[in-house]
Structure 1
Amino acid sequence: MPDTPKIALVTGAAKRIGAEIARHLHAAHFNLVIHYHHSATEALALADELNNLRENSAIALKADLNNQDQLTALAQQASSKWQGIHLLVNNASSFYPTPFDKANGDDWDDLIGSNLKAPYFLAQALAAQLTTAAGSIINIADIYADKPLRNHSIYSIAKAGNLMLTKSLAQELAPRVRVNGIAPGAILWPDGNHKKKEDTLSDEDKEKVLCKIPLQQRGQAQDIAKAILFLVNDAPYVTGQILTVDGGRSLTI
C-alpha cells in the first residue's frame, strides 16, 4: 500500500453507483472528494463513514455542475484540499425519458449539461493537476451511446457525445493523462428521484430487461467500481477506450 494516498474526485458520489465507486477507491487507498448537488445528507454521511475508516481521507463538496462558476469552484476546492488530483470520475448524470414530441429546451440543457458539458469543462479545469500527477479520467458512458434507447433521444445523444469526449480527451491529454470510459448496462434500476418520475420500472418491465441480458441477471454497483479500479491501476497502456460492463446486453440491442 502506498504511503501517500492518491486523490480522487467522484462526481455524483453521494449514493448509488457513485457512492460504491467512492468506497472502492477509498479501500484502494485513495482520498476522496465526494461531489454532490442535492444529496447533502447522503454525501456528508458517506464522508463521515470514510473518515471513520481513515482519518482526514474524505470531504464532501456541493456544486451544480450546470453552473460554470460552481463547477470551476469545485475543481479549485477539490485540488487544493490535498494539493492535487490523481483521478477524476465523471459519474454525475441526469437520466429520464424525453419523448420527441414533448422534449423541451430545459431537458436538452439538463441532459447535455450533466452528461457531456460538465465532464468536458471539469476535465479542462483539472487538466493541469492531472497532468502533474500523471493521472486518469474515467467517464461513465452508457451502452445506449451506440444504439439509442427509445423515448430517451436527448440522453442517448448526450451519452454518444460522452463517448467521443473520452476519445478526444485521450488524444488531447496524452501522454501524461489517460482517459477511458465505462459503459454500464442494467446495474441499478432507476429510482425516480428527480423531476421525471415516469422513469421507474414495473416488475414486468424489469423482467423484460433481464430476459434480454445474456448473463440473465442485473449487474451490481461494485461491478462498475471494480472496472474503474482496473482501468486506473492495472491498465497503464490503455487510453481512449470504453469498457462495456453490461452482462452482454449490448449484444442483443
Structure 2
Amino acid sequence: MDSFSYKNIHPVVLVTGGALRIGAGIAELFHCRGFDVLISFNQSNDAAAKLVEKFNTVRPDSAHSLRANLAFPDEVSVLAQKALAWKGHIDILINNASSFYPTPFELTKQEEWDELIGSNLRGAYFLAKAISSSIKNRQGSIVNLVDTHSDRPLANYPVYSIAKAGLKAMTKSLAIELGPSVRTNGVSPGAILWPPSLEDSEDPQVLKRREEVLARIPMKALGDISDITETVYFLACSARYITGQVIKVDGGRSLGPTN
C-alpha cells in the first residue's frame, strides 16, 4: 500500500461499472493494494457476485456490490446512500460505468439521449455530488474514465461522444469546485479491448478491421488493461499535485494519422 493507504487504515474505493472489463481490472488492483472495494453494476449480476466472492475469500468483508442504473437519478441517490452506509465512508470514486452504442444523428431518439447522457455524465456528476463530503473528509480523490472520442467524436456515435466530452469538462470543473481537499482527474483509454463487433478472431473481415485500427496507432498494438488500471491508481493515490487533468492512454492514437 502507498502513502494514501497508510493515512487511511481502511480506505474504501467505489468503482462504478466495476464487474467487467476495465472496471473489474481497476477493482482488482485497488483490492490487491489494500483497499476495501465497492463495485456497482447494472446488468452484470453474476460477474459482480463472482468478483466480490473472490475478493472476500482473500480478505473477508473487503468487498461488496450494489446494483444501480446510473441513467436513473433515483438509483444514483440510493447507490450513494448504500455505498456510504457500507463502511461509513468513501475515500475514492472511480466513475467508470458507461453505455456505448451508435446513435446516427438523423435517427437519434430522445430516450437514447437520456440514457447515454445519464449513464456517462449525469449519473457520474450526481454520484460525485452525493458522496463528495465523505471524500473531502478523507482527503480522497475522483477519477473519471473518459474516452479519446471526447476530443475526436466517433462517427455515428454523436450522443456518446458528447457525453464523454461533458465528462472531460466535468473533470476539470470538479477539480476547481472540490479542491484543495479533493483531487479530480481523468483517464482517456484508447484501444485496450476489442469491442464486441471485433471479437471474432476467425472472421476475415474482423481481422481486416483490426489491422486498420492498429495501423492508426503509433504503437501498432492494443494496450493492456493494466495500462489503464495503473494510471487510474496513480492519479487516485499518488499524484498529490495533479488535478483537473485527463491523461490519454492510447498508444498515441490521438495524435492522428501516422502516415
1:41 alignment partner in structure 2: 46
Q: How far off is 1:219 after superposition?
A: 0.8
1:117 alignment partner in structure 2: 122
Write the deviation string for residues 26-79 of structure 1: whole angstroms up to 9, x where unpaired.
111110001011110000100000111111100011111112121111111111
Q: Distance in 2 between matches of 1:55 and 1:14?
A: 18
- Contact 2:140–2:183 (CA<8 Å) still a contact in 1? yes
1:177-192 superposed matches below 5 A = 177-191=182-196
2:167 alignment partner in structure 1: 162
- Among 214, 225, 230, the alignment partner of 2:234 is 230
1:24-173 superposed matches below 5 A = 24-173=29-178
Q: How far off is 1:190 after superposition?
A: 1.6
Letter matched to residue 233 of structure 1: C
Q: How far off is 1:124 after superposition?
A: 0.4
Does 1:240 pair with 2:244? yes
> What is the number of residues matched between the two proteins?
245
Q: Distance in 2 between matches of 1:184 and 1:115?
A: 15
Does 1:219 pair with 2:223? yes
Q: Secondary structure at the match of 2:177?
A: helix
Q: How far off is 1:99 after superposition?
A: 1.2
Q: Distance in 1 between matches of 2:195 and 2:221?
A: 16
Q: How far off is 1:4 after superposition?
A: 2.1
Q: How far off is 1:215 after superposition?
A: 0.4
Please, what TM-score do these two structures have when normalized by structure 1?
Answer: 0.94
Identity %: 46
Q: Distance in 2 between matches of 1:153 and 1:7?
A: 35
Does 1:7 pair with 2:12? yes
Runs of 4+ in 1 over 6 A off after TM superposition: none
- Among 195, 206, 209, the alignment partner of 2:213 is 209
Q: Distance in 2 between matches of 1:203 and 1:41?
A: 31
Letter matched to residue 13 of structure 1: G
Q: Distance in 2 between matches of 1:70 and 1:113?
A: 11
Q: How far off is 1:191 after superposition?
A: 2.3
Q: Distance in 1 between matches of 2:10 and 2:194?
A: 33
Q: Distance in 1 between matches of 2:248 and 2:111?
A: 30
Please, what TM-score do these two structures have when normalized by structure 2?
Answer: 0.92
Q: Distance in 1 between matches of 2:41 and 2:152?
A: 29
Q: How far off is 1:202 after superposition?
A: 2.2
Q: How far off is 1:203 after superposition?
A: 2.2
Q: Distance in 2 between matches of 1:205 and 1:96?
A: 18
Write the deviation string for residues 105-152 of structure 1: whole angstroms up to 9, x where unpaired.
111111111111011000000111111111100001011111111111
RMSD (Å) for aligned C-alpha atoms = 1.3
Q: Distance in 1 between matches of 2:160 and 2:194?
A: 16
Letter matched to residue 21 of structure 2: R
Does 1:175 pair with 2:180? yes
